Amino acid sequence: MQFGERIKEIENKYADVIELYKFTQFVIAKQNEETRKFATKRMIEILDNYKGSSGKKYSSDYRAILNWVVGRYNEESQKNGNKYLSSTKDLSLAGNSDHGTYRDTL
């Protein structure tokens, strides 16, 4: 039996498991995307509220988010019992998806 034929045989035999795995990976990726969107929005709100109440201006809001807003967001999330970001690697501020796999973010 040729290698290609063997692969097709395995794919046919385990088609349901393969589809369930693919669907699970899709759902996990979608949940991670929604979590990042919410986290990004909340961090912007935290920074905006601080700037509004204190009158402080930053040369780079992005730098401020990386320097202290992520920590404030994590504290807030822990108090609320939500999953927090372990680092800025977990957050795609630029909107790109090269953040690693789901397993990398655990």
- pLDDT tens for the 106 residues of the chain, in order: 688 888 889 888 998 988 999 999 999 999 999 989 999 999 999 999 999 999 999 999 999 999 999 999 999 988 888 765 655 555 544 444 444 443 444 3
Predicted pLDDT at 106: 39
pLDDT of residue 78: 87
- Output the pLDDT for position 59: 92
pLDDT at res. 84: 58
Contact 27, 58 (CB under 8 A): no
The pLDDT of residue 86 is 53
Give me the amino acid identity at 3.
F
Contact by Cβ (8 Å): 28, 102? yes
First and final CA of the chain: distance in angstroms? 41
Cα distance between residue 98 and residue 93, in whole Å? 11
